[in-house]
Structure 1
Amino acid sequence: MKSATTFLMFQGQANEAIEQYQQWFTDLEVASLSYTENSQQVAMAVLHLKGLKLMVNDSVIQHNFTFTPSTSIFIECDSEEEISYLVTHILEGGLALMPLDNYGFSKKFAWIQDRFGVSWQLSYN
């Protein structure tokens, strides 16, 4: 086995999502980004976030499915300010599956879905 990577498939919103993620996560690195011919659809992008490699694309085929909250990206935040910032911004147009709170297993925790449908678990201890 050569590698294992998280893959996020969008349907026309990949470029917008990448730009949004760069605003939320200032240390997000776009390692590569290519577009389909004659469009702004992302053929393939490779992102790096805190050691996590993400592959991102826009599907050329329309599917009857999208992201599910049961698969999420888990982020361990460095400070209360960081988790508050991320929760506030990711929730713009998104959905709180578990609002920011102390659930006993984490001093501050939130499970939220961004406006693209991608789920994020944010934790601060």
Structure 2
Amino acid sequence: MNQAVPFITFQPSRGQSAAEALETYLELFADGRVILDNRYGSDGPGAEGTVIMSEIEIAGQRLRFSDSFVAHEWDITPGVSLMVDCDSAEELERLFTALSAEGTVFMPLDDYGFGPFGWVGDRFGLTWQLGLAQA
């Protein structure tokens, strides 16, 4: 069966690390699990320990990550983000606080007419829209 899975490319040449992002997201989401974790060895071409391809599942969504050993002109765009429907206001606040640490707040936690919501860019460059699950 065909399946669309978001694929996020990190650039170690810009200080980004797929491995650090994986660890952080797996700690933040209680349902987090590793599906695949394939790293470069000493024979490269990427730096030893960087991610060739990893796949995790968090908040019911599979995500793939890679560290590019090629320096690209582009970067991760905030125009594409992960939307997480939180089960409680406490979870929403916890995730917002953790993901915005050392990152960017695009929209602070507030009620914008459709319930509590916040939009942040984390320290890895990935952006997250966080809201409460609709009853």
Report the Cα distance in structure 1 between the residues aligned to 2:69 and 2:62, rounded to whole angstroms.
Answer: 22
AA aligned to 1:111 is W
Which residue does 1:7 correspond to in 2?
Answer: 7
Which residue does 1:26 correspond to in 2?
Answer: 30
Which residue does 1:79 correspond to in 2?
Answer: 88
- 2:69 counterpart of 1:69: no
Q: Which runs of 5+ in 2 are unaligned?
A: 43-47
AA aligned to 1:98 is M
- C-alpha displacement of 1:61: 0.8
- 2:128 counterpart of 1:117: no
Q: Which runs of 5+ in 1 are unaligned?
A: none
Which residue does 1:55 correspond to in 2?
Answer: 64
Report the Cα distance in structure 1 between the residues aligned to 2:131 and 2:96, rounded to whole angstroms.
Answer: 10
Report the Cα distance in structure 1 between the residues aligned to 2:74 and 2:34, rounded to whole angstroms.
Answer: 26
Report the Cα distance in structure 1 between the residues aligned to 2:101 and 2:59, rounded to whole angstroms.
Answer: 23
- C-alpha displacement of 1:26: 2.3
Report the Cα distance in structure 2 between the residues aligned to 1:90 and 1:115, rounded to whole angstroms.
Answer: 8
- C-alpha displacement of 1:50: 2.8
SS at match of 2:71: coil
Report the Cα distance in structure 1 between the residues aligned to 2:58 and 2:22, rounded to whole angstroms.
Answer: 12
Report the Cα distance in structure 2 between the residues aligned to 1:77 and 1:44, rounded to whole angstroms.
Answer: 28
Equivalent residue for 1:94, pick from 78, 84, 103: 103
Report the Cα distance in structure 1 between the residues aligned to 2:100 and 2:59, rounded to whole angstroms.
Answer: 21
Report the Cα distance in structure 2 between the residues aligned to 1:75 and 1:6, rounded to whole angstroms.
Answer: 14
Q: Structure 1 runs of 4+ off > 2 angstroms?
A: none
Q: Deviations over 1:34-77 (max 9, x none)?
A: 10122111000011123311111101211121111110000000
Asked if structure 1 preserves the Cα contact closer than 8 Å seen for 2:31 and 2:60, the reply is: no
